[in-house]
Amino acid sequence: MSIIDRYIVKKFLGTYFFMLGIIMMFATVFDISEKLSEFISNKAPISGIIFEYYVNFILYYGNLFSSMIIFLSVIWFTAKMAKDTEIVPILFSGKPVFRLYRPYLMAATVLMVLSLVLNHLIVPSANKKRLDFENQYYRNALVVEDYNAEYPGNLHVYFSNFVEFEDRAHNFIIQQFDEQHRIKYFLKARYAKNIPGTFQWTLEDYYEKSFEFPIGKIKYGHRKDTTFAFQMEEMAQRQNIAETMSYNELSKMIERESQKGSDLVPFYEIELHQRTSYPFATYILTLIGFSVSSQKRRGGVGMNVAIGLGFVFVYIFSMKIMAVSALNLGVPAKIAVWIPNALFGVVAVVLYRRAQR
């Protein structure tokens, strides 16, 4: 690397980590002000608050907003370089604009690879610790109501409600149909409890009927120990459970939930594809930030930052719109997640060409 390359890479990474530190410090302070009283009242250990919760909190949110922080960092230090007339001599040396952009690309690649590694390998494990701690010392008990799903083998499962501290489902119903969609088995229990980590269930006050030719069988009972091909932990779970899963685990859960016809499949697919699309947005936002702020403006650094914030808000807004489209309008999650990157990629190329003039 040349002296100019090292100078720009140092400014890029230095500004990024400085802004990341400032933003995470404020985020941590606001989160502490909201949750500290609950942590204290639930007797959460100090070491757990620091190392199990807030270390992982910073890892998750720092990585989540890294693309936006990169964009603002590029806007800030490039606009300052333009204001201090550091860019003009480089351009007037006869070298193309891409030569000036090259160190930006190098630094962006470092941060993009770091974000990919965090998203796929480190953050899911960190999220599991953070959310487990939050569930134990902050969140209300998990409640699931009117659960209804279809499992392989034309098996339909329903229960009216499940409360975490009770650890049992109420009004538990199983119906199985044949290939002609005629019912061949029915079971209803007042309560159903799954032994954690197993497929073993205990039913209380149950009614069971099999529709066998020529005469069906009916059975009543107070208690029954049996097994099913599903567990309560996959039926009663919070939406953010996807944040704790590795790529393979999340892919398997999507496949399993698709077989059940779950409404949460698009939500999980968005989580899966965003782990790759967000890091790649680093290149696009870096190019836009460079193109917008590499020229002097009358408003100085403030004007460049204002323009940059405008792009950030539009980008976030477009991501939210596409996420809603995937959840409610049936747009494939993989396409919905990458459309903002594609659109802003075109914007980045147009702005870059204008900057070359």
What would the pLDDT profile of 38-63 be if each residue is shown by its tens digit?
Answer: 888 888 899 999 999 999 999 999 99
Domain coordinates of the chain in residue numbers? 3-138+264-356, 143-236
Q: What is the pLDDT of residue 338?
A: 92
Residues 305-348 have pLDDT tens digits of 777 778 778 888 888 888 888 888 888 888 999 999 999 989 88
Maximum pairwise Cα distance, the chain: 94
pLDDT at 27 over 70: yes
Q: What is the pLDDT of residue 119?
A: 92
What confidence category does residue 178 fall into, taking pLDDT thresholds of 50, 70 and 90?
A: confident
Q: What is the pLDDT of residue 36?
A: 87
Q: What is the pLDDT of residue 159?
A: 92
Closest CA to 60 of 153, 104, 123: 123
Six-digit token string for 28: 């941590």
User: Is-contact 201 235, C-beta < 8 A?
Assistant: no
Mean pLDDT of the chain: 85
Q: Characterize 158-193 residue by residue with b for buried, 16 or more Cβ atoms within 10 angstroms of its Cβ, and e for exposed.
A: ebeebeeeeebbeebbbbbbeeeeeebbbbbbebbb
pLDDT at 94 over 70: no
pLDDT at 299 over 60: no
Q: What is the pLDDT of residue 318?
A: 87
Which phi and psi angles does 315 have, rounded to 5°? -65, -45
Q: What is the pLDDT of residue 297?
A: 62
Residues 72-91 have pLDDT tens digits of 899 888 888 877 776 767 66
